[in-house]
Chains A and B, each alone.
Chain A
Amino acid sequence: GNSVTQMEGPVTLSEEAFLTINCTYTATGYPSLFWYVQYPGEGLQLLLKATKADDKGSNKGFEATYRKETTSFHLEKGSVQVSDSAVYFCALSEGDYKLSFGAGTTVTVRA
């Protein structure tokens, strides 16, 4: 079945540092890929998505590129802020009405 593997956290960074969160997936076909973010005490919200190979999703300074050859969708941000402290989830959906999530990566940005 479909599955998503994320790098384990927690990740602690200083402001303006570069952030990378690795995500790899297993799927039988051509899934859509997502990054969702959960700020403290809130529900999840979509950060970005990509629906086909080589697509790049971007939002709020975050980027991720759908790499079919490496089955990856790594999240990057060039200069993080304290307000980026959150839990980040990689997820995939393959048209079967189900969304599969990774375990989540907790990111803490210190001033």
Chain B
Amino acid sequence: NAGVTQTPKFQVLKTGQSMTLQCAQDMNHEYMSWYRQDPGMGLRLIHYSVGAGITDQGEVPNGYNVSRSTTEDFPLRLLSAAPSQTSVYFCASSYNSPQETQYFGPGTRLLVL
């Protein structure tokens, strides 16, 4: 099993550009989520999904879109990047809910200039 994979590992964007952060898992997990990690603020939930076709907002959803067309993939889209979105992004998955063990990807470091 590859577990949870994320691409790219590092990305530099200019303000206003768009991009998609990819996340995939091969554990047949229903629950997937995206977090951003900022110094002194821990991890904050952006969006989550409880299964294919079902997504919902977390704590800091503004500026981000998600979709879940398959069980395996949960991409995060930045439609118009802003410097405030400079952060490290983590994708995580678990069988059915965050009350079970969550498996995290290695992270994507994003710099918006």
Contact = CB atoms under 8 A, between A and B. Distances in A.
Interface of A: 4, 6, 32, 36, 42-46, 49, 51, 89, 93, 95, 97-104
Interface size class of B (residues with CB under 8 A): 20 to 34
B53 interface: no
B45 to A, nearest CB: 6
A43 B106 contact: yes
DSSP class of A's interface residues: helix, strand, loop or mixed? strand
A97 B43 contact: no
A2 B64 CA distance: 23
28 contacts: A6-B42, A42-B106, A43-B92, A43-B105, A43-B107, A44-B43, A44-B92, A44-B102, A45-B103, A45-B104, A51-B99, A89-B42, A95-B97, A97-B48, A97-B50, A97-B97, A97-B98, A98-B58, A98-B59, A98-B98, A99-B33, A99-B45, A99-B98, A99-B102, A100-B45, A101-B43, A102-B42, A104-B42
Contacts, number: 56
B27 to A, nearest CB: 14
